[in-house]
């Protein structure tokens, strides 16, 4: 391995950069308005209202210790569908809003450095009751799905964009988390990028644990074709790009 390259990549893992940044020059400290905490969706877009925590009837109470002990990666799923409530539950557990939304700012069910929450959640939906298969995006502030597009070749395209791994195209639903890095850079400048990745780990772990409550399994995926996945989701690959995936499907209880 190239020693200089190793140094650069290991530097990224460290927090040394914090000592080198003049935080008074970050956009936040220069008075630049904060970017939206949720990517806006066109007013005329098709939306699906999701049941919230108070409406859930099928989500079993789960012992946290058992969920942690049983969590493991599942790559093979039953043909059974997820119900809408279960999908709503997974979305709430991974990016749901906790408490009040004030001035476009909200705490969520997962932690985030500086509460900047730099992610959007896209879903390739294949087998969820009452939802036409296609690509959707979660709107945490209104707890809704917004329809993005449908594609008869979505399954095949997800597999190709996942470097031939089949489960992202054979799941009930595959989550694709994208980063909008400026949300974090606005506050932390060049110290933003490491914490974006740390944040992503929390999100996916919550997905794994939530799956334990609904007889489902998840597989985290970090090996994918960046350019193909971004193109598939219609992202510019610069200001927003895929950073992590996870597929979910029903498993034997
Ligand atoms: C960051 C990360 C990336 C991963 N990427 C992939 C992947 O691309 N494909 C895959 O099949 N599994 C992937 N996995 C799942 C791991 O292979 C799995 O977590 C590991 O083998 C341990 O198994 P366990 O989750 O059952 O404990 C990933 C897991 C993590 C945390």
Q: Which atom of ligand 1 is nearest to the CA of 72?
A: 26
Mention every residue, 6+ apart, whose C-beta is less than 8 A from residue 83. 58, 128, 129, 130
d(CA 114, ligand 1 centre) in Å: 27
Helices (H), 14-166: 64-70, 84-95, 154-161
Domains located in the chain, CATH noted: 3-38+45-250 (3.40.109.10)
Backbone φ and ψ for 179, nearest 5 degrees, come out as -110, 135
Backbone φ and ψ for 205, nearest 5 degrees, come out as -65, -40
C-alpha torsion 5→243→165→110, nearest 10: 120
Q: Which residues line ligand 1 (CB under 6 A)?
A: 72-73, 75, 165, 219-223
pLDDT at position 229, please? 98
Give per-residue pLDDT as tens, 216-225.
Answer: 999 999 999 9
Q: What is the DSSP string of 132-155?
A: -SEEEEEETTTTEEEEEE--TTHH
Q: How confident is the model at residue 103 (pLDDT cuts 50, 70, 90)?
A: confident
pLDDT at position 188, please? 95
pTM equals 0.97
d(CA 244, ligand 1 centre) in Å: 11
d(CA 145, ligand 1 centre) in Å: 27
Fill in the DSSP letter of residue 73: B
* Nearest CA owner, ligand 1 atom 13: 221
d(CA 212, ligand 1 centre) in Å: 17
* Nearest CA owner, ligand 1 atom 21: 73
Which H/E stretch holds residue 101?
strand 97-102
Rounded to a whole number, what is the distance in angstroms from the first to the last CA of the chain?
Answer: 45
**pLDDT above 90 (res 9):** yes
Q: How many CB atoms lie within 10 A of CB 179?
A: 23
Task: Write the CA distances from 228 to 67, 96, 236, integer angstroms.
Answer: 34, 28, 11
User: Given CA atoms 193, 109, 50, 106 in this order, what sign does their dihedral have?
Assistant: negative
Nearest to 115 by CA among 178, 186, 50, 53: 186
Q: How confident is the model at residue 105 (pLDDT cuts 50, 70, 90)?
A: confident
d(CA 227, ligand 1 centre) in Å: 21
Which H/E stretch holds residue 248?
strand 241-250
* Nearest CA owner, ligand 1 atom 4: 221
d(CA 76, ligand 1 centre) in Å: 14
Give per-residue pLDDT as tens, 14-73.
Answer: 999 999 988 899 999 999 999 999 999 999 999 999 999 999 999 989 999 999 999 999
Across the chain, what does the average pLDDT equal?
Answer: 96
Q: Which atom of ligand 1 is nearest to the CA of 167?
A: 11
* Nearest CA owner, ligand 1 atom 22: 73
């Amino acid at each position: 391995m190239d020693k200089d390259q190793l140094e650069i990549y290991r530097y990224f893992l460290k927090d040394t950069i914090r000592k080198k940044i003049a935080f008074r020059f970050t956009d936040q400290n220069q008075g630049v308005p904060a970017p939206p905490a949720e990517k806006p969706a066109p007013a005329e877009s098709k939306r699906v209202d999701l049941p919230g925590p108070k409406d859930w009837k099928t989500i079993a109470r789960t012992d946290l210790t058992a969920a942690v002990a049983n969590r493991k990666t599942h790559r093979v799923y039953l043909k059974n569908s997820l119900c809408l409530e279960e999908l709503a539950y997974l979305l709430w557990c991974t990016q749901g809003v906790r408490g009040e939304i004030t001035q476009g700012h909200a705490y969520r069910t997962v932690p985030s450095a500086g509460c900047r929450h730099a992610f959007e959640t896209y879903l390739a939906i294949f087998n969820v009751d009452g939802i036409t298969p296609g690509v959707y995006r979660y709107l945490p502030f209104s707890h809704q799905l917004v329809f993005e597009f449908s594609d008869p070749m979505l399954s095949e395209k997800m597999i190709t964009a996942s470097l031939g791994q089949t489960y992202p195209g054979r799941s009930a639903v595959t989550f694709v988390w994208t980063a909008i890095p400026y949300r974090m850079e606005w506050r932390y400048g060049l110290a933003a990028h490491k914490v974006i990745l740390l944040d992503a780990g929390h999100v996916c772990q919550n997905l794994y644990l939530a799956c334990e409550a609904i007889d489902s399994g998840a597989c985290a995926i970090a090996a994918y074709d960046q350019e193909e996945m971004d193109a598939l989701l219609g992202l510019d690959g610069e200001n927003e790009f895929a950073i992590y995936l996870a597929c979910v499907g029903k498993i034997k209880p």
